[in-house]
Chain A
Amino acid sequence: MINKSQMNSLGQSLLNFWRSSIGKKLIVAVTGIILVGFLLAHMAGNLLVFQGREPMNDYAYFLHHFLHGAGIWLFRLVLLGAFVLHIVTTICLVRENRAAREERYACEATVKASGSSKIMIWSGLTVLGFVIFHIFHFTVRVDPDLAAMKDPLDPSRHDVYGMVIAGFQNPLVVLFYIIAVTLLCSHLRHGVASLFQTLGFRSEKTRVAIGYLGIAIAIILWLGFLSIPSLVTFGLLEDKGAAIEHSSHSTASLLKC
């Protein structure tokens, strides 16, 4: 039983919140919202690749320079915080959940759990592996060829447009992207609907809409993210500028002046 003296300390309340099952679930849901919000923005930004080299590279330049370059670090900090908290909390939950049902049924069956809901930890851990790969691929740029690419229109800045297309020339890389993003979307097909339940918004009135929202977000992200590597693989998205880079370079810089 809770009495008033126990209720008084703020520290105790926060500790109780972390220790409680619902408290941890709420942390997963809120960090999940932050991550989904990021994914939607990130996908929208990526789609600028279809607008061509200049809009894409302008956008990348903006990201790296808003608030005098502090903006992106602030953004990365919040994102990293949410990501780490999400992972630590979910791993904690999964361990508690396995302990709560230590003895399994000899005959296992489910009546309504969705496939994606059963593999949340595995889809999540694949995403974790993918995120690490993805950061080395396009953010840290461990491949010196990708790191050295300069915008032919403005050689003082990095050519993000060219890098994305060059980065997807390897079919194995593309295959990994397809598998990881598909599992990410499976994660969100359950996760998005689930977070509304965790936050207490699911009811008879909202149930159906929330279910469709989860599916819709998963489909939008799947199509949006995978359109780029697959179109590059099928040769439908080519870096035409790269081929004419040398001849057009002077005209481009002339045009700039």
Chain B
Amino acid sequence: MTAPPRKLPVLDDLSGFFWTSGADGVLRVQRCTACGHWQHPPLPSCAQCHADDLAPQPVSGRGRVKTFTINRQAWTPGMAPFTFAAIELDEQAELYLFSNVTGDPEAVRTGMAVEVTFEQQDDVWLPLFRPVEAAHG
């Protein structure tokens, strides 16, 4: 059982920063310069105030598992189970990223605290999330 190869995203004008942000170990999310609203996926204008002035801003990389699924279907031969989740970042209510939670799928729970970790493939730094250790969580 092995992890499936990842299909990588196209990096375009709006999304490129997000996929390369992990190069320096920091997760960045689009934020409105006018009203401070965070949003993901990135859009050409602010969904809150409609201003066009948006920029990538660093976030803590911490959040919680809003909901998750353990995929058990081997879509390709030998594919191992993985956890796919909606992560609600600490910065703002309902600021969601879809990602994988690393580690034992059976340990994942709704509401669990997680933090970002990057997996580099080619020119993409995929933001994945790992459980925050109880010791510093």
A and B associate in one complex: no
Interface residues of B (CB under 8 A from A): none
